[in-house]
Amino acid sequence: MTELTEKEKALEINEVEKCDSSNLGSWNKSFKVKLRGDIYGIFKPKDGEMDYLRPAITGGTYYQRERAGYLVDKFLGFELIPITVIREIDGKIGSLQNIIPNAKTAMKHKKEELEKFHQKFISLFALDYIIYNSDRNWYNILIKEGKLYAIDNSLSFGHDNFRIDYINYISPEISEIYVIMKKMNRFLKSQEEREELHKLLQDLLKTGEIDACFARIEYLTDFISRNKRLPVIKENTLWHILSGRHSKKNRKIMPFWP
């Protein structure tokens, strides 16, 4: 699993042909980059990160969390986060994420269109909980040709409010739930993959953040196995796992450390 794919290698080492000077970000700086081989990516430099966006996440670590999110997604086999690597461009360290050409944000899709993706939102929910994403708004979801892509994962792995804006679009379809449970089970049963991912994350996250991430994978897998459903209730509610109660809020509910 540690062996880089050709696309990962290209993002890491291909020569930069052009780096757009126009900042694409709102809070944090990001730039469109063209690499040799007609490869495009979004570069987010460490020195362009704004501090204090989340109490539990320190500025200067966002780019590492982008990479960490991609690695977790890759090892679990969800295939939601575009290839993301860490590299230097123009003397600055940061994350570089492969651009999905012609993809549109979920914000630009109508409700009727989004409802067609209700099963795919199950996988996104699992991923967002596992990486404890505090910023999964509609602008951070891309859609292209029937596939969802999760971008902007920098505000993840901290113990801030767990945020997902798509909760009403999650399907109770049991077959899709079992698909993601099997993927998580496969990962948990592979000691080699667990150790490999843990080692890779050590260069990116705090020890407690890594341990909590692994605990969430185990907890979500066990929850689905025991309850035959996701911890999601209708009418914009999530199951309050810690207390066993329902809550009308969609944040601060799923436990950071089960």
Whole-model pTM: value is: 0.91
In terms of DSSP bridges, do strands 84-89 and 39-45 run parallel, antiparallel, or are they unpaired? unpaired
* pLDDT tens string 139-190: 999 999 999 999 999 999 999 888 888 888 887 677 889 999 999 999 999 9
User: Cα dist. 47→21, 60, 128, 198, 256 in Å?
Assistant: 15, 7, 26, 26, 28
Name the amino acid, one letter, at 119: Q
* pLDDT tens string 40-98: 999 999 999 988 889 999 999 999 999 999 999 999 999 999 999 999 999 999 999 99
74: left (phi over 0), alpha (psi -120 to 50) or beta: alpha
DSSP secondary structure of 161-217: ---BS-GGG----HHHHHHHHHHHHHHHH-HHHHHHHHHHHTTTS-HHHHHHHHHHH
